[in-house]
Amino acid sequence: MDIPLMKNPMDDLFGEDSDNDSRSSRSKSSSSGNASSSSSGSASSSGASSSKGGDGDGDGGGADSSSSSDSGSSGGREERGDDRVDSYRNNDNYTNTPALSTYSIPVLPAGWSNDNNGGRGGMGRGRWGNGRGGAGLLPRPGPFPGGRGGRGGFVGRYQNYQRDERFVSELKLSKSKETLSRKSTVFQEPCELTSYSRVEGGEVFFDERGLRLFKRHVSEDIGADLNQGYDTFIEKIDLGSEGFGDFLASIRAKNISLENIHFVTFRNNLNKILGAAYNLHEPWEMGVHKRNGTIYLDVHKLPERPQSDLDRRRCYWGYCFESLATEDPGRAYGEDIHHVDANVEFVSVVKTKLGAHRVLMGAEMDCCDETDEGRRIYIELKTSRELDDRTVERFEREKLLKFWIQSFVAGVPYILVGYRDDGGRLVRTERLRTKDIAHRARLKNYWQGGVCLAFADEVLCWLYGTVKENEDYTLQFVHPFMRLELLQAQSCPDAITNHVHLLQHPSSPPPPPSSSVTP
């Protein structure tokens, strides 16, 4: 099922930003396609890790990026380029495929392959010796002193790689992006089943009281200082598996059947898996626990370096922008932001399908607006450092990929980016359509949405075919970022154990907490 193309209902929601959309850009919206795909190279991996201090802000650490400030003017370029990119697959191709995946669980490749260089120019002629006497210009590959050798130059560096004693299975990242781009992977439009809210103080309600309303004409706040209210900022508390327990409780409260659900997870874990097709330098891990035929993916937070005051401020700028961009009945017009609590949240519980697997996912939503017909539209709010000629490409290659993944998998059609200067002052805002982000990246050959989906489909097939019932694992992606590894774990989080118990015995108390800790 396609992500629907929103046209007129939202054109007036973003104040002066809507002026960037000409009639020609609206008329091409159907041809530009929903979130799309393209690129080449070798498949790789790492997580587009997001949390609401990364997930919500998008501001990251100081090394952020660039912008899509040319989105208004680039519409003409994209429109003229449509005829030149007919060979590329867009979202229509991989969302209209049959609901049953034709791909079986992938066989793990034997090893790194670089056969495309074999025979190029023969074994001599300036490369390696061919037995006719005389040295070639380059040394023959092999485990020679100096650490250079092996196919692709990896064996010499990693030949002493020690496999973890908990090792169960691995998925080597040997398929090229070109191969993945030719695979059509079905992704159904996410359908919201229920939601829940966390209010100040941490109490959870299975309703929509935590959902914030988008403030129209947010461009009126250009020039606002995003440092306002920093002194009273309440930072986000890491709830660990307790937060996952609240998500599972919302499923039980709504009596949602898990009989045909293959994966239950927060969006954060899907972000990591989809992003691993391109992101090769960010390690991540997650818990994997199979109960009654359903795999629960539990978020694991890796240790981080200590945050400086500037790091905390940059994180806060994202939360402050969210407050500026949403309605607050308790704040008078023109009044400064105060008392920002990062723990207040609204989580939408959606059902979708990636490949052959049905996924039940919890996704935190920043705010929403409604069309004239009364349809609710979620909007993602992001912040980024203002861009210049040196940072635009990195922004479009890396940050927009994360923006797209996070919004696409949850069915969020619009993203509002607030660009700020180094001091935290809001300098401009820009509205992005989720479907247009992938289209732009495809035209520039930066990345393909279809590659991310195809890669994630292979990972889910491998996981579901490998993990055993009532056993616990850790899925990790770490240096040297050449494989996904599945490791045996010692226990299951109490939140999952209690959830499974309550599904089977609703009236009986949950079992006592486990004393063991998952490594």
Instruction: Answer yes or no: are the C-beta atoms of 288 and 168 closer than 8 Å.
Output: no
pLDDT of 37 reads 38
Q: How far apart are CA 251 and CA 229, in angstroms?
A: 35
- What confidence score (pLDDT) does residue 410 get? 98
Task: Spell out the residues 6+ positions from residue 386 whose beta carbon is closer than 8 angstroms to its own.
Answer: 67, 419, 420, 421, 427, 428
One-letter amino acid for residue 21 of the chain: D
Residue 517 lies in a domain: no
Q: What is the pLDDT of residue 161?
A: 59
Range 121-145 average pLDDT: 42
Q: Is residue 200 part of a domain?
A: yes
In a domain, 115, yes or no: no
Taking 90 as the threshold, does the pLDDT of residue 16 lie above it? no
Q: What amino acid is encoded at 163 in this protein?
A: R
Tell me the sheet residues that pair with 292. none
Measured distance CA(16)–CA(2) in Å, rounded: 29
Pairing mode, strands 472-477 and 426-433: unpaired
Q: For the residues 209-230, what does the mean pLDDT come to?
A: 94
pLDDT at 372: 72
pLDDT, tens only, 273-309: 999 999 989 999 999 999 999 999 999 999 888 999 9
Residue 431 lies in a domain: yes
Predicted pLDDT at 501: 96
Residue 143 lies in a domain: no
Q: State whether residue 26 is helix, strand or coil.
A: helix
Percent of the chain with pLDDT over 70: 67
Beta bridge partners of 194: 349
Number of domains in the chain: 1
Give the DSSP per-residue string, 144-180.
-TTS--SGGG-HHHHTTPPPPTTEEEEEE--SBHHHH
Instruction: Tell me what pLDDT residue 160 has.
Output: 53
Does any domain span residue 91? yes
The Cα–Cα gap between 472 and 300 comes to 14
Domain that holds residue 311: 8-105+176-504
Residue 199: strand, helix, or coil = coil
Q: In what order do the strands lie in the sheet with 191-198?
A: 167-172, 483-488, 472-477, 284-291, 294-299, 263-266, 357-364, 345-354, 191-198, 204-205
Q: How confident is the model at residue 336 (pLDDT cuts 50, 70, 90)?
A: confident
* Residue 180 pLDDT > 80: yes
Domain presence at residue 171: no
- pLDDT bin (cut points 50, 70, 90) of residue 317 is very high
What CA–CA distances, in Å, run from 236 to 37, 157, 326? 35, 40, 19
Question: Residue 514 — very low, low, confident or very high, per pLDDT cuts 50/70/90?
Answer: low
Q: Tell me if 515 is assigned to some domain.
A: no
pTM, two decimals, is: 0.71
For residue 96, count other CB atoms closer than 10 A to its CB: 11
- DSSP 8-state assignment for residue 340: -
What would the pLDDT profile of 239-284 be if each residue is shown by its tens digit? 988 999 999 999 999 999 999 999 999 999 999 999 999 998 999 9
The values of phi and psi at residue 284, to 5°, are -160, 165
